[in-house]
Amino acid sequence: MNSIAIIGTGSSGLAAAHTLQDAGRHVTLFEQSQEVGGRAATRNRNGFIYDHGAQYIKGEGSSISTAFITERFRAPDLLNIAKPVWIFDRTGYIQEGDPQQNATPRWNYRSGLTALAKQMAQGLTIHFNTHITHLEQIADGWRLIDNNNRHVGDYKKLLMTMPAPQVVEILQASQLIPFLQQSIINALKSVDYNPLISVMLGYRPAPRSRPYYALVNTDKAHAISWLAWEHEKDAARVPTGCGLLIAQMAPHYSREHWEQADEQSLLNDVARLIAALIDETLPSPIFTDIQYWRYALPITRADADALNRQTIPHGLAFCGDAFVGGRVHLALEHGVKVAQNLLYGV
């Protein structure tokens, strides 16, 4: 049994899968949805193409993530967002951003950020629409069981890459050595996440062009955390004559409006906040969409090294945003690192 299972096909899981496969292991991935990439996600609706989760990949990573993006898994439509990111405060005062930060590449793709995950998914064995709900620690590895109580396979080793609360839910329903089970749960319960409501508003005509591609709130006191002119990534992302704004709402705003039943009122409120921030009269949007990310960005993290030192001798490991935060390049690098540790037992 040199087989390894990976639960989750976000950036970290995909990077780990290739690292393990390169070393000659038989790797199988399980994904509860029908798409790869996790929060590095893209939608194509009504002629609008947009990234409704992560907005780009920061080009400040190590040679590992850089090589993945620009060489090994390079997609033909890779681009570097040309315009900079500016900043604003709680009063809505807008000013230029950090020149050093803006000098760093911001990679994306004409077809959307999910292009990287799709490139990386090629050549991997992935079972989609498979929701693993519990595990059994068996004599020589791990047995995976799905939400239909179906045994989907036995594997020598297992890597879990999902958000910490989802891992905890699985482990609480699983059968493994009690002290190990409780120790892992205790470590991962320390991870807390901010929720995020992402709002997409399409306009005709396009909002006025600016000297920046996006705005980020630096004092974390405004209702809007991030506002991007999505069509600045590439004109082909929107129908002719249109523009698309993406507002990612602050954690406090997202919590307050999470259970709001009237989505039209939410859309109207976000449109009002945007117009006030950029001081522009906007027409009624011709296209709208909302995405709710319950586990958007971890605000506390677990110690991956300490946890994996304890679990790898049992053929179990963990990687992903619960340990490194929400950046795509960090997730890629962590997937590689933990996969190497799982291979060599360190």
The pLDDT assigned to 272 comes to 98
Domain of 304, in residue numbers:
3-38+119-190+300-344
Same domain flag for 314 and 174 = yes
* Residue 226 shares a structural domain with residue 280: yes
Instruction: Determine contact, residues 71/65, Cβ cutoff 8 Å.
Output: no
User: CA torsion angle for 245, 250, 251, 253 (degrees, to 10)?
Assistant: -90
**221 with 257, same domain?**
yes
Name the percent of the chain lying above pLDDT 90: 97
Q: 131 and 267 in one domain?
A: no
218 domain-assigned? yes
Q: Which residues of 226-256 are buried (b: 16+ CB within 10 A; e: fewer)?
A: bbbbbbbbbeebbbeebbbbbbbbbbebbee
pLDDT digits (tens, 9 = 90+) for 314-330: 999 999 999 999 999 99
Kindly state whether residues 216 and 226 are assigned to the same domain.
Answer: yes
Judge whether 178 lies within some domain.
yes
User: Which pair of structure tokens corresponds to residue 96?
Assistant: 């230029």
Task: Verify that 146 and 14 share a domain, yes or no.
Answer: yes
Whether residue 232 is contained in a domain is answered as: yes
Instruction: Give the CATH number of the domain where residue 337 resides.
Output: 3.50.50.60
How large is the average pLDDT for residues 66-84? 97
164 and 273 housed in the same domain: no
Of the candidates 18, 98, 101, 95, the residue with the CA atom closest to the CA atom of residue 64: 18
Residues 232 and 336 in one domain: no
Say if 138 falls within a structural domain: yes
Same domain, 23 and 126: yes
In this prediction the pTM is 0.96
| Structural tokens at position 173 | 């329903």
Residue 62 counted as domain residue: no
The number of distinct structural domains making up the chain is: 2
Q: Give per-residue pLDDT as tens, 175-196.
A: 999 999 999 999 999 999 999 9
Q: What is the DSSP string of 3-55?
A: EEEEE--SHHHHHHHHHHHHTT-EEEEE-SSS-SSTTS-EEEETTEEEESS--
32, part of any domain: yes
- Same domain? 89 vs 238: yes
Band (pLDDT 50/70/90 cuts) for residue 261 is: confident
